[in-house]
Amino acid sequence: MSRVEPILPGAVIGIVGGGQLGRMTALAAARLGYRCHILTPGADDPAVQVAAAATIAPYDDPAALDAFAAAVDVVTFEFENLPSEALSRLAERRPVRPGPDVLAICQDRIREKAFLGGQGIPIPAYRPVESARAAQAAFAELGAPAVLKTARLGYDGKGQAKLGEGDDAAAAFARLGDVPCVLEAFVAFELEASVIAARDVEGRIACYPLVANRHVDHILSETTVPAAVPDAVAADAVALAGRIAQGLDLVGLVAVEMFITDRGGILVNELAPRPHNSGHWSIEASVTSQFEQLVRAVCGLPLGDPSPLGPARMLNLIGDDVRDVARYLAEPGAHVHLYGKAEARPGRKMGHVTWLDPTGA
């Protein structure tokens, strides 16, 4: 592989998306001497508040995309529900890492599952369903319980319907908006877990350890580092994540969400080609945070060491949880992060707290 010239500190990293993932990436980039320029429709978004510059515009505004591209040296993105044509337009002008093809796969569950299946990665049994009749046929084949998920635009359990014995799959398909979906067999998992893999411009891979994720109301509540599973299971999970990063020809990060079954089996649930909530612990509890790792990867710098400094725990502050912030601030050993969001709506991620060596925390 020919050597790719690094984009050195002093350069401008363009981040598409203005949320907390962009905010924490911009903070990590600043530490390494880069400036960040955010493209987002939200003038007061969390990332805009800490970045050197911003283009405030819809993601599909061609003039804004061109002005943004002209102002930056490299582009990355911090969320997936973007038109992939927007990234393709940027990619005509600047390196976009991860590339538009990676986004196109990961933002569509049908394509994502076809990719994973094609790579020989274990996934739950599923059927793509594009009509009410196909939903019924797939449910008859896979049986109950099953989960119907919209192929696009789903997050935190939105765009999903669980189907039990005797449920009407056609009605569920209609309720989800008559849009392309996948029907998945319901997995009786022991644990939800994830691995974040980084891959650099030369194809080198560095993986964070397998961590355990506890969800409340479909939203990540707590991450425990490392996941309490046998070493062989953790090693398999990390190897799968590395294969996925390689298969995507990724430059950047990919978070691989997995179900671990009681016999130590691993099924990959979904991919996110960006920093991930289950990696926030790495800011204090890893040699290199996931955000710094993204900066290193997209700028063509050597990847950092993803090793944890020890066991850790991350708790999300969701909605009104943020009212307890004074309690966490007063707690020795609690690392508190707030995202600068004015309004604590239910289900909204307002911040998080990380503890190193949380035994007894």
Binding site for ligand AMP (CB under 6 A): 124, 147, 149, 154, 157, 184, 186-187, 192, 215, 218, 257, 269-270
Instruction: Provide the strand spans (E) within the chain.
Output: 12-16, 35-40, 53-56, 74-77, 126-129, 146-150, 160-163, 181-185, 191-199, 205-207, 211-216, 219-225, 252-260, 266-272, 312-318, 334-338, 349-356
Question: With left for phi above 0 and alpha for psi between -120 and 50, is residue 203 left, alpha or beta?
Answer: left
Q: State which residue, 80 or 192, has the beta carbon closest to ligand AMP.
A: 192
* Residue facing ligand AMP at closest CB distance: 187
Which residue carries 């994720």 as its tokens?
Answer: 213
d(CA 219, CA 347): 7
The least distance separating ligand AMP from the CB of residue 183, rounded to whole angstroms, comes to 10
Going by DSSP bridges, is the β-strand pair 160-163/334-338 parallel, antiparallel, or unpaired?
unpaired
Buried b (16+ CB within 10 A) or exposed e, 173-197: beebeeebbbbbbbbebebbbbbbb
CB 275 → ligand AMP: shortest distance, Å? 16
User: Closest CB to ligand AMP among 122 and 157?
Assistant: 157
Question: Is 348 exposed, middle or buried (CB count within 10 Å of its CB: 0-12, 13-18, 19+)?
Answer: middle
Beta bridge partners of residue 266, listed in sequence order? 260
* Residue that the structure tokens 């510059």 belong to: 53
Name the minimum Å distance from CB 124 to ligand AMP.
5
Name the residue with tokens 């190193």: 356
The residue among 149 and 296 lying less far from ligand AMP, judged by its C-beta, is 149
- Considering the complex, state which of residue 145 and residue 311 has its C-beta at the smaller distance from ligand AMP: 145
Q: Which is nearer to ligand AMP, 254 or 301 (CB)?
A: 254
Least Å from the CB of residue 215 to ligand AMP: 5
The nearer residue to ligand AMP, 127 or 296, going by C-beta atoms, is: 127
- CB 351 → ligand AMP: shortest distance, Å? 21
Which residue lies nearer to ligand AMP by CB, 49 or 261? Answer: 261
Angle at 238 between CA 107 and CA 357, to 5 degrees: 105
Minimum distance of ligand AMP from residue 269's CB (angstroms): 5
| Amino acid, single-letter form, for residue 78 | E
Q: How far is the CB of 123 from ligand AMP (least distance, A)?
A: 9
